Amino acid sequence: MSDITEIIKDLSHRVSEDYLIFGKDMNESLISLVQDGSIENLEILKRICEHANQNVYLALFYNPEVDKSNITFDIANFDDISLKAKKSEEAMKDYNTPPVDYRSALEIAIMPNIDKDESEGEKLSNLNEVVEYRQVFRNLLNRVGIMKSAEVKSAEESLNKMAHDAKALIADGSSLGDISKIATRHIKENIGGDAMKIAECYDIIHKDLVASNFHVKTGFTKISSHAINKKSIILKPVEEFSMAMTKIAGFTEMECNIEKYLKAFDNSVNKNKL
C-alpha cells in the first residue's frame, strides 16, 4: 500500500509540474503514463487526477498574479483519459517509451553552452537564455513552497480535529490507547502512510490532555483489535493528516532538488558575466 501511495504522489507531482512549468496538457501526460504502464489501473488513475488537479489549483490560488475569484485551468479529466486509454489498448502494447521523469528532465535540461571563442553578442544571448531558465526554476521553487505551506496548514487543521475527536471520545469513556491503535492500524493497513507519525500525534494529544487535567485512559481493550470501520468520520482527519505529511515530504524533496539546479544556474551566470 505504501508503494501505491508513493506512485500516486510522484506521478501527480510530475503531471502538475509539467503543466505549471511547461504548459504540458495534463490529460496527454496521463494518457502517456497509462500507455507505458506507469499507471496500472483506473482507481490509481482517478486518484492521480484528483491530486494533480489539487496541486495545480493550490499553485494558482496562492499565486498573487492570479484572480482568485476566477481560477481556471485545463483539468485532468478522468473520464476522458480512461476512455481514450481503453480505445488505444491495443496500441499501448507496442508503446514502450516511458515519459521523462521530472528529476531526470532536470538532469538533462539544456543549459546553453557559452564558448570562450563566441562573440560578445553571442555570449550575451546565451547568458540571457541561462538567466531565463534560472527564472523558470525560481518560479517553480516559489510555487512548490506555496503548495508545501498549504499542506502544512492542512496538517495542523487535521491534527486539531484529531485532538478534538479524541477529547470527545475520552470524555465518553474511551481509551486513548484504543483510539491511537485503531488510527495507526488504519493508516498502516488501508492507507499506506507513516503510522509512526500518527502514533506521535496521539502522544502529543495525550500530553496536552493530561496538562489540561483530563483523566486519560491509555490501556488497550478488545475494541482496538476489531475490524476497522473505514468510513468512520473519526478516521477522516487521520487520513487527511497522513496525506498532508506525505505531500510535505514530497515538496521538501522537490525544493532540495530545485535548489541544486538553481545553484548550478547561478554558478553559470556568475562565471560568464560580461
Give per-residue pLDDT as tens, 205-260.
999 999 989 899 999 998 888 888 888 888 999 999 999 999 998 889 989 888 88
**Residue 190, in any domain of the structure:** no
**Residue 162, in any domain of the structure:** no
- Backbone dihedral region of 171: left (phi > 0), alpha (psi from -120 to 50 degrees) or beta? alpha
Q: For the residues 87-110, what does the mean pLDDT come to?
A: 43
Structural domain count of the chain: 1
Count the neighbouring beta carbons within 10 Å of the beta carbon of residue 91.
Answer: 9
CA-nearest of 87, 88, 102 to 137 is 102
Using a cut of 0.95, tell me whether the model's pTM lies above it. no
Q: For the residues 191-217, what does the mean pLDDT come to?
A: 91
Is residue 122 over pLDDT 70?
no
**Residue 224, in any domain of the structure:** no
Structural domain containing residue 5: 1-103
For 117, residues 6+ apart whose C-beta sits below 8 A from its C-beta are: none
**Residue 89, in any domain of the structure:** yes
**Residue 91, in any domain of the structure:** yes
Confidence (pLDDT) at 106: 43
**Residue 237, in any domain of the structure:** no
Show contacts of 246-251: CB within 8 Å, 24+ apart. Answer: 246/5, 246/9, 246/193, 246/194, 247/9, 247/147, 247/148, 247/151, 248/148, 248/151, 248/152, 248/155, 250/9, 250/10, 250/13, 251/144, 251/145, 251/147, 251/148, 251/151
Confidence bin at 89 (pLDDT 50/70/90):
low
**Residue 20, in any domain of the structure:** yes
**Residue 152, in any domain of the structure:** no
How large a percentage of the chain has pLDDT more than 90?
Answer: 31
**Greater pLDDT, 78 or 65:** 78
